[in-house]
Amino acid sequence: MSRLIADKIERDPALLDIGLANISRWIANNIDQQHKLAEWRERIDKAQQSPEGLAEVLTLLREDSERAEYVREFARFAGVLTTMDRRPFILQCSYAH
């Protein structure tokens, strides 16, 4: 699903604001893993400031590696995908199981 998020953010980088809003809300609510949330805030800030920063975030969301999976555990982009965006992914997963 993170690849779907990356594709949508690539088409509309303004969606990064959703991630920042989520992170700010969770930090304010003292959600666990504050340092990892702060790391994502920094990544998103860089993504908004430069094409290289955006490319790094998109790569992390798309990459198939242990490092990327670890980082994605704290990728805070809830709300970027609509129900219609998620539908093909959900259907694919339901057929696979």
Q: What residues contact 38, with CB distance under 8 A and at least 6 apart?
A: 27
Q: How confident is the model at residue 95 (pLDDT cuts 50, 70, 90)?
A: low
17-26 burial code (b ≥16 CB/10 A, e <16): ebbbebbeeb
Range of the domain at 65: 2-96
How do residues 38-71 score in pLDDT, each as one tens digit?
Answer: 888 999 999 999 999 999 999 989 988 887 777 7
Segment 10-40, tens digit of pLDDT: 999 999 999 999 889 888 888 777 888 888 8
- Give the model's pLDDT for residue 36: 83
Residue 85 has pLDDT above 90, yes or no: no
What is the number of domains present in the chain? 1
3 half-sphere exposure, CB direction, 13 A CA radius: 5
The pLDDT value given to residue 45? 97
